[in-house]
Structure 1
Amino acid sequence: MPTDVEIAQQFTPKPITHISEALGIEEQYLYSYGRDIAKVDLTALTTPTQKKGLLILVSATTPTPSGEGKTTTTIGLGQAFTQLNESVCMALREPSLGPCLGMKGGATGGGYSQIMPADRINLHFTGDFHAITSANNLLSAALDNHIYQGNALNIDPRQIVWRRVMDMNDRSLRKIVLGLGGKMQGIPREGGFDITAASEVMAMLCLANDAEDLQRRLEQTLIGFTYQGDPVYAEQLGITGAMMALLRDALQPNLVQSFEGTPAFVHGGPFANIAHGCNSVIATRMAMHHADWAITEAGFGFDLGAEKFFDIKCRVAELDPDAVVLVTTVRALKMHGGKNKNDLENEDLIAVEQGLENLDKHIESVEIFNKHPVVALNRFATDTDAEIALIRARCEVHGVSFAETNHHAEGGKGAIELAKVVMASVEKNRPFKPLYELDASVLEKVRAVCKAMYGADDVAFSKDAEKDLKQVEKLGLTHLPVCIAKAPSSLSDDPALHGRPRDFEVTVSAIQINAGAGFLVILTGKIMRMPGLPKKPAANSIKLLKSGIIEGLE
């Protein structure tokens, strides 16, 4: 099969005005970035609509190095709806440069189920990540400058909780010392960088309803404490107006298309292992407003992105998915069954059978939210009919729908069966039920997620986490939902435990207060908010050819 780049060269994007017209979005609402990308003004949400706005959430079993193809499945499903002449629009996250140039590679789908132009979307796109980085670091600069210029707010440099960010994997910047070089260079203190996808500014932009809401969130962002232990918020530095100016264009969602002309809003990109893992509320609403079917995804496995989609995003935006798709592969289940990633080509029914326990847990987790999942098997060429029959039979035991897909090789045509099954599943889904009530204690919320989603026996708070919890209680923020930062490669907080781990406890190492975003980040295990590059990063294979085509960004 040709490479993704070679496949992309077979398709010519339609003018973005054609895509917007198909959605009923008038040209006056567009801000074009060339002929095939546009931002859409938020006032397009105020136009009258007759669309049904049914929402489909795509999630997956626990990720493995073999790849499950969640984004590819989302795009293939969208293209299948288009082939069935259904009104459809996708809402996806923007890729981050860090993983694109690191281990994961690009994030625009694969094979014949991609959004385009993939090279621009995967790299700088419309500059949203850069705007978020700049706004975040403006607040950092203003904070250190305030201390240098006399520190009228009496901020304790040892209790600053706001960190700088950059959209690159760079482990060397996780912990640094600032202000070295003499008294003209600032006040020395410890600091560090997170990746932009973990920035609270990213989370605030993705959860904001509009500019006014984003401004309010920025103002109530906790940045540190005084020597007396009183909280200091971004509003007190008088800098949030300038942050809003930097974020003006980034707040508007980006409109692109798939190979088959299916519209897609691509906007915002928080990771699900260290943030809440969903595209922006604005983009999701835009898709629902302009189409009968809106298809969105949540990052990593259901235990991470989808749990946060329900318990954080759906609460904030008053959303309720009408269907849930759970993506898996034979290869992934073999790895959960104990197979090595280099030994997945040959039939192994025992490994598949053992790996099905991971699928079992995710099906159970979907049903906890009152939803009836459709299991989508993303088929690979090496999969055998016997292996697939095992998975189909397990779905029948659970009483859930199953569909085999081949959208990577066939585009929308390869996901038509899935599209029909998803449409039929809508009537089986009831209003979602949150995992916990907001008035529960922080410990009860964390315990609810860890037990129900991960299968843990209980949770344990480190001394640092207990100290953080007291600070949360002192500030009166126990009512906030929890956003658990956890290793994505396991249901547990130990990335080495595959399949369906049992008899384990989740250790909470720290709690970070994201008052502006409106949730508490619960750090577990050894999770880090700044990834590092692998021994051989994807950047080693990326080249700019004389033709102007970027090679290796897949």
Structure 2
Amino acid sequence: MLTDIEISRLAKPQHITDIATKFGIETAELSLFGEAKAKVNLSILDRIQDNLDGKLVIVTAVTPTPFGEGKTVTSIGLTQGLNAIGKKACACIRQPSMGPVFGIKGGAAGGGYSQVIPMEEMNLHLTGDIHAVSSAHNLAAAAIDARLFHESRLSADEFAHQSGLSPLNIDPEQILWRRVVDHNERSLRTITVGLGELNGPVHDSGFDITAASELMAILALSHDLKDMRHRIGRLVLAMDKHGEPITAEMLGVAGAMTVIMTEAIKPTLMQTLTGDPCLVHAGPFANIAHGNSSIIADRIALKLADIVVTEGGFGSDMGFEKFCNIKVRESGKTPDAAVLVATLKALKANSGLDSERDINLPDQARLEAGFLNLKWHMDNVSQYGIPVVVALNRFPTDTQEELDWLKNAVMQAGAFGCEISNAFSLGASGTEALARKVVAATAQNSAFRFLYQTNSSIEAKLLSIAESGYGAKGMRLSNEAKEQLVQIQAMGLDHLSVCIAKTPLSISHDPAIKGVPKGFELPITQLKINAGAGFITALVGKVMTMPGLGIRPGYLNIDINDQDEIVGLA
């Protein structure tokens, strides 16, 4: 079979204005970036505000494995399949970060015959949103250090006289705002800044990956430009020497940060291999951020489509949980159905059973043990009151006997439906049965419910996720987290949602524990204030907000050939 990039290049994309017109977006509402992609101006929201909303479908998966479950492939394939059976459908997905593209994960355009094209443009820069987030974020970091420098070299009166500003009295040991870059770089996790004459004061800092920036979360959760401006103003950047918060508004940098992101707030319209619309916007990771594309993209799509397919990153304990408890609260739009992606290989890998047998070969014992992981995720989705359809993403090595056994087990376990997906190899025709089942699921009366109420304490919300969201027997806070909790309470931020940052490779905090972990305590090491985004991030276990490159990174395979074409991008 051809590679993803070869399939993408053989396709003949329609002009993006044609995709827009068919979908209901007027040419005047587009800002073109060449022939294959365009920004959608937010003026469209006023024109379509009275349209009825379509149905919203969230795609999630079992616990991820190195073999790949094909969640984005399924999201794009399902969108193609829905359009093929006569429904007007649109996909809303996140923008890929170059960290995973050049690291280990590769691109995020889907794959095979269910992908967004051109895949090179999708995976590299796109329309520059991530760079805008990086620039705005790092402007705030520079503003903090500049203010710290000037206030430290002058008396309070002299600073006020020369600047016309009131001193903020920043505590250099309580600067909360780190820097970001859109690459994996473990050596930048902890750094010291201000070294050298006239560069201080010296203090500790570090870098996160841009996808983990609170600005990325704000981009994904904002309703419009004014809302984004307000949220940026609420950012807590540091504490003063009396322990009071210093916000971006107080520093005077919020307006400039917003200006940098005025184009980034517009979703990017692209197309699938079969000419179906796809809105690409925002890129928060689901393990260290909230893991979902933007509310704005969903709002536009829902007013123009019968069914909108969106995706939560990693397994249902990660992006799906955050979709339900964070994104739904902010958007007010509950999902009508969920699609849970699984594969035979993923279940065998999640079985927890050691085996020297090739995972591509039939292995009923491992499959049955791994099914418990799928059953856990089915139950997890169901507790939110959403009908769940399981998509069994077929690999060439799968046997029909094992697929039939799994499909029967899924239906006996109470799923609304279960269909085999051939999205990767067949595209739209390989997902028509899945599409029909999803349409039927969206016709059900769902009774959506949150996992916790925001008027509960931070501890109660964390405990709800630990116990009901992961199956833990409880949680424990480190001494540092306890101190941060007191600070959060003193600032009156108990009402915020919570966002867990943990490994995606296990339902628990320990990536080595497969299957359905039980009897564990969730260790919360830090609590981070994300007042602009509207949640408190809880770091769990050994999770890092800046990934590192592996021993054999993906960039080793990426180059330009003799025809000046990109090769090795997958």
Under TM normalisation by the shorter chain, which class is it?
over 0.9
Match of 1:345 among 350, 356, 360: 360
Mapped pair 1:123 → 2:115: no
Amino acid at match of 1:135: A
Partner of 2:402: 387
TM-fit CA distance, 1:389: 2.0
C-alpha separation in 2, matches of 1:424 and 1:47: 30
| TM-score (ref. length: structure 1) | 0.98
> What are the equivalent positions in structure 2 for 1:218-237 lying under 5 Å apart?
218-237=232-251
C-alpha separation in 2, matches of 1:383 and 1:339: 20
Mapped pair 1:426 → 2:442: yes
C-alpha separation in 1, matches of 2:251 and 2:118: 40
Partner of 1:75: 76
C-alpha separation in 2, matches of 1:445 and 1:52: 31
Check conservation: 1:93, 1:279, Cα contact below 8 A. yes
Partner of 2:516: 500
> What are the equivalent positions in structure 2 for 1:406-425 lying under 5 Å apart?
406-425=422-441
Q: Deviations over 1:37-75 (max 9, x none)?
A: 000000111213645411111000110001100000000
4+ runs deviating over 4 angstroms: 49-52, 339-342
Amino acid at match of 1:25: I
C-alpha separation in 1, matches of 2:279 and 2:93: 6
Amino acid at match of 2:402: E
> What are the equivalent positions in structure 2 for 1:93-132 lying under 5 Å apart?
93-132=94-133
TM-fit CA distance, 1:431: 3.2
**Which range is displaced more, 391-400 or 62-71?**
391-400
**Which range is displaced more, 340-349 or 30-39?**
340-349
Partner of 2:164: none
Amino acid at match of 1:125: L
C-alpha separation in 1, matches of 2:8 and 2:28: 30
> What are the equivalent positions in structure 2 for 1:346-365 lying under 5 Å apart?
346-365=361-380
Partner of 2:231: 217
Secondary structure of 1:9's aligned partner: helix
Mapped pair 1:157 → 2:148: no
Q: Deviations over 1:467-496 (max 9, x none)?
A: 111111110101100000010000000011
C-alpha separation in 1, matches of 2:518 and 2:5: 42
C-alpha separation in 2, matches of 1:402 and 1:546: 46
Amino acid at match of 1:71: T
Over 3 Å counting, the alpha-carbon distance change for 1:95 and 1:537 in structure 2 is same
TM-fit CA distance, 1:260: 0.3
C-alpha separation in 1, matches of 2:314 and 2:210: 18
C-alpha separation in 1, matches of 2:447 and 2:32: 38
Check conservation: 1:367, 1:373, Cα contact below 8 A. yes
Amino acid at match of 1:451: E
Partner of 1:21: 21
> What are the equivalent positions in structure 2 for 1:301-450 lying under 5 Å apart?
301-337=315-351, 338=353, 343-400=358-415, 401-450=417-466
Mapped pair 1:535 → 2:557: no
Q: Deviations over 1:348-389 (max 9, x none)?
A: 011000001101111111111001100000001111122112
Mapped pair 1:35 → 2:41: no
Partner of 2:274: 260
C-alpha separation in 2, matches of 1:340 and 1:28: 59
Secondary structure of 1:357's aligned partner: helix
C-alpha separation in 2, matches of 1:166 and 1:50: 39
Partner of 1:465: 481
C-alpha separation in 2, matches of 1:496 and 1:275: 21
Match of 1:179 among 190, 194, 197: 194
Partner of 1:90: 91
Secondary structure of 1:153's aligned partner: coil
C-alpha separation in 1, matches of 2:98 and 2:445: 37
TM-fit CA distance, 1:334: 0.6
Over 3 Å counting, the alpha-carbon distance change for 1:258 and 1:442 in structure 2 is same
C-alpha separation in 2, matches of 1:549 and 1:86: 36
Partner of 1:63: 64
TM-fit CA distance, 1:343: 2.4
C-alpha separation in 2, matches of 1:239 and 1:336: 47
Partner of 2:161: none
C-alpha separation in 2, matches of 1:533 and 1:551: 20
**Which range is displaced more, 7-16 or 342-351?**
342-351
Partner of 2:141: 140
> What are the equivalent positions in structure 2 for 1:192-207 lying under 5 Å apart?
192-207=206-221
Q: Deviations over 1:114-142 (max 9, x none)?
A: 10111111111100000000000000000
C-alpha separation in 1, matches of 2:340 and 2:52: 25
Unmatched 5+ stretches in structure 1: none
Check conservation: 1:215, 1:240, Cα contact below 8 A. yes
Unmatched 5+ stretches in structure 2: 153-166
C-alpha separation in 2, matches of 1:467 and 1:263: 47
TM-fit CA distance, 1:341: 9.9
C-alpha separation in 2, matches of 1:477 and 1:532: 32
C-alpha separation in 2, matches of 1:51 and 1:213: 23
TM-fit CA distance, 1:339: 5.3
> What are the equivalent positions in structure 2 for 1:281-300 lying under 5 Å apart?
281-300=295-314
TM-fit CA distance, 1:289: 1.4
Partner of 2:568: 552
TM-fit CA distance, 1:342: 8.4
**Which range is displaced more, 273-282 or 427-436?**
427-436
TM-fit CA distance, 1:12: 1.0
Amino acid at match of 1:386: E
TM-fit CA distance, 1:227: 1.0
Partner of 1:46: 46
C-alpha separation in 2, matches of 1:478 and 1:222: 15
**Which range is displaced more, 473-482 or 420-429?**
420-429
TM-fit CA distance, 1:547: 2.3
C-alpha separation in 2, matches of 1:339 and 1:263: 43
Amino acid at match of 2:101: C
Over 3 Å counting, the alpha-carbon distance change for 1:342 and 1:209 in structure 2 is farther
> What are the equivalent positions in structure 2 for 1:270-289 lying under 5 Å apart?
270-289=284-303
C-alpha separation in 2, matches of 1:353 and 1:444: 35
TM-fit CA distance, 1:186: 3.0
**Which range is displaced more, 42-51 or 305-314?**
42-51
The alignment's C-alpha RMSD in Å is: 1.2
C-alpha separation in 1, matches of 2:466 and 2:84: 40
Check conservation: 1:59, 1:301, Cα contact below 8 A. yes
C-alpha separation in 2, matches of 1:273 and 1:340: 28
C-alpha separation in 1, matches of 2:443 and 2:273: 30
Secondary structure of 1:460's aligned partner: strand
TM-fit CA distance, 1:428: 2.8
Check conservation: 2:5, 2:120, Cα contact below 8 A. no
Check conservation: 1:353, 1:390, Cα contact below 8 A. no
Partner of 1:476: 492
**Which range is displaced more, 426-435 or 204-213?**
426-435
TM-fit CA distance, 1:399: 2.0
Q: Deviations over 1:403-460 (max 9, x none)?
A: 0011100001000000000001123341310000111111111111111121111111
Amino acid at match of 1:66: F
Check conservation: 1:91, 1:284, Cα contact below 8 A. yes
Q: Percent identity?
A: 44
**Which range is displaced more, 230-239 or 249-258?**
230-239
**Which range is displaced more, 45-54 or 321-330?**
45-54
Match of 2:471 among 450, 455, 461: 455
Secondary structure of 1:521's aligned partner: strand
Partner of 1:188: 202
TM-fit CA distance, 1:86: 1.3
TM-fit CA distance, 1:83: 1.1
